[in-house]
A and B are shown apart, each in its own frame.
Chain A
Amino acid sequence: MNPHPYPPRQPYRPGWAPPPRPSMEVHRLHWATAPLRSLNIVVVYFVLIGMWLLLDPDDWFTLDPARILLFLLVTFPVALVAGAVGVWTWWAVRFWIDGDDLVVDTGVVRSRIRRIPLSRMQGVDVVSPLLGRLLGLAEVRLELAGGSSAEITLRYLGRRRAQELRAELVALAAGLPGHTPEAPERPFCRVGFGALFLSLVLRVPVLLAFALFVALVVFGIVTGELAVLGVAIPILLGLCREVAAPLVMYARFRSSIAPDGIRLRFGLLESRLQTVPPGRIQALRVVEPWMWRQFGWARVEMTVAGYGGERQALSSTLLPVGPREAAFAMVSEIFPGAPVEGVALTAARSRWRSADAAGISREVFVSRRGRFCRTWDVVDFARAQSVRLTASPVQRLLGLGTVQVDVPPGPVQVAAVDWELAQARGLADETVARTGPARARSGSLERWAG
């Protein structure tokens, strides 16, 4: 869980030849895609129909020759069709890189071409499901900005080819020639399994739920009352959702920083390599739950434009748990400039929000809130969409106002709550005044690097 103290960048080795340029020709998916897809269909068929043809529901353990014959007669054509469909779908998908676009053709008789401008790409994930990992296969997912069909999945490629394609897409999106070798990366942080497990368990709601669960089970055993299961089982499921699911998902978490973006690797069963270009991160949030603060731990979440709904939730974690120094180092790595903790914050004026505070530096707007679970929200001025100053009737009686900086939908909400009204207006004006130069500094966001 220790952040690496910035090891030197790996020198470029001239002896290592760059991989052959994949953008030259038309590609197909890995051949194993065809049998895998056929197998999928056959398994579904067997469970839904085949099994019932083969087995007699009244007598499970003897096989009737007539039934076997019927089963073979039905299964053989089904297997043929499944094989044909597998080969067909494998043969149909072709993709190649044409200039700045990735072109995917999914038509067999007539071509059905989809062009994806790489400048609109928000991120590239390489995902290996459990089965795929055993066979050395992986799928490549492209996240695009906006739209409902804003995700492209290439399933499956050989693991090596998937890595090459990822490197090439990232390089092209960064405006570099396609044969650029994969950018060297600098390890940043690594989360051990024990630390992840402890961090997921050591949260007040989780511990309370667990205590309630144990109490219910003990009560149930003592009194012999089975009705407690009706409450205990939902609690157990909730605990699985809150502890076991993130544990499996974020196990073996490693993050590293490369010129073309931040690379996150994680997953126990389904391993995932997520590439997040820094220019695409709109806002960040550092969360310090009350219990984690006793150990000096924190979590980092991000808002990436274009990830909507479920994908937003799945891919908004930048660091599942880490020392708070590493968390804030991560934030300064993405939004360079003054450290977030060094920004002078002004506390809210109202008594019931006195734990909240906000402030600005030259580059970022920072707001902190929460007495127990402390949350820091950070947005770079260059990514601020609009600024709002509001005063509700109650706030106006007290002479207070709230300044909100609007960012694309995601976990982060940046707001300076309950400031003195005149100061709040000053803050809003100042925030807007700083967005212009910040945008000029960050340059065009059409490209990743630079």
Chain B
Amino acid sequence: MNEQPQILPPQPYRQRTREEAFAPPEGARWWRISSRHKWYRRTVALVVALLAGPIGAFVVARTGGTPGAIVWGAATVLAFVLAWLVAEQDYQAWGFLERGDDLVITSGVFQRRIVIVPYARMQFVDVTSGPLEQVFGLATVRLHTAAATTDAAIPGLPVAVADQLRDRLAARGDEGAGL
């Protein structure tokens, strides 16, 4: 095992700049999720706002009076508007790429993130679709490895695409060893 030289070949890639740190791998473009994802996010925000607004306002009104309820309502509206605006950014931030040996996922508006999972380390893949996601015809593909900290999920894929992706990933995972 140790006969091979310890010296590594020169780095083939050029040094990235700070702005490129979350760019796709060399010579590739991110695959995008469905643009319906942002409408899904906005619907979730709307549902949460419609539930949290009146209930919260009612609870606050009992202790803080009318001014409290107004502040609560304003905060809810503000949060909803922010969520509405961020949904677009969030959709833009999502991207994934199937490479020869691994899957690369990027996401996050405020906290940027790139996760790289080698297919050989994948234990299983699952596709989930909640009630609201089903309304939009979307599904989430999630990769599981032996590490609990691996958080590799791609939301907002059309159901057919998600199923195809799952099948491709599962087939590639079979070639690897698992743990």
Contact = CB atoms under 8 A, between A and B. Distances in A.
B16 A425 contact: yes
Contact of B113 (A305, A337, A389): A389
10 contacts: A305-B146, A362-B6, A388-B115, A396-B112, A399-B18, A408-B147, A408-B179, A422-B16, A425-B21, A432-B116
Contacts of A428: 114, 116
Interface in B113-140: 113-118, 120-121
A436 B147 contact: no
Interface string A379-394: 0000011111111110
Contacts of A441: 1
Interface in B46-105: 101-102
A95 to B, nearest CB: 26
Interface of A: 145, 282, 305, 336-338, 362, 384-393, 396, 399, 401, 404, 406-409, 420-422, 424-426, 428-430, 432, 435-436, 439, 441, 444-446
Contact of A422 (B2, B18, B113, B148): B18
Contact of A386 (B15, B111, B150, B177): B150
A422 B20 contact: yes
B22 interface: yes
Interface of B: 1-2, 6, 8, 11, 13, 15-18, 20-22, 25, 101-102, 108, 110-118, 120-121, 145-152, 177, 179
- Determine chain A's interface SS by DSSP, over half rule: mixed
Given A422-B20, A429-B25, A393 B147 contact: no
A409 B8 CA distance: 31
Query: What are the 5 closest A-B residue pairs judged by CB atoms, nearest first?
Result: A406-B147, A385-B147, A385-B145, A421-B21, A386-B117
B112 A385 contact: no
A282 B148 CA distance: 14
Contacts of B145: 385-386, 406
B179 A305 contact: yes
Q: Which of A336, A337, A399, A401 has the most CB of B within 10 A?
A: A401
A391 B111 CA distance: 6
Contact of A426 (B13, B121, B150): B13
Contacts of B112: 390-391, 396
A393 B111 contact: yes
Contacts of A407: 147
Nearest to A280: B179
Contacts of B148: 408-409
A436 B101 contact: yes
A432 B111 contact: no
B169 to A, nearest CB: 13
B2 to A, nearest CB: 7
B114 A389 contact: yes
Nearest to A120: B179
A126 B8 CA distance: 44
Contacts of A393: 110-111
Contacts of A336: 1-2
A392 B179 contact: no
A390 B25 CA distance: 16
A430 B13 CA distance: 10
A387 B115 contact: yes
Contact of B115 (A282, A386, A408): A386
Contacts of B146: 282, 305, 385, 408
B111 A388 contact: no
B21 A389 contact: yes
A419 to B, nearest CB: 10
A371 B86 CA distance: 39
Contacts of A392: 110-111
B13 A429 contact: yes
A422 B15 contact: yes
B103 to A, nearest CB: 9
Nearest to B109: A393
Contacts of B20: 422, 425
A444 B176 CA distance: 9
Contacts of B11: 426, 430
A409 B13 CA distance: 33
Contacts of B8: 362
A337 B4 CA distance: 11
Given A388-B113, A445-B179, A425 B118 contact: no
A15 B124 CA distance: 51
Contacts of B13: 426, 429
Contact of A432 (B6, B22, B118, B151): B118
A422 B121 contact: no
A358 B146 CA distance: 23
A386 B110 contact: no
A282 B147 CA distance: 10
Nearest to B104: A432
Contacts of A435: 118, 121
A391 B2 CA distance: 36
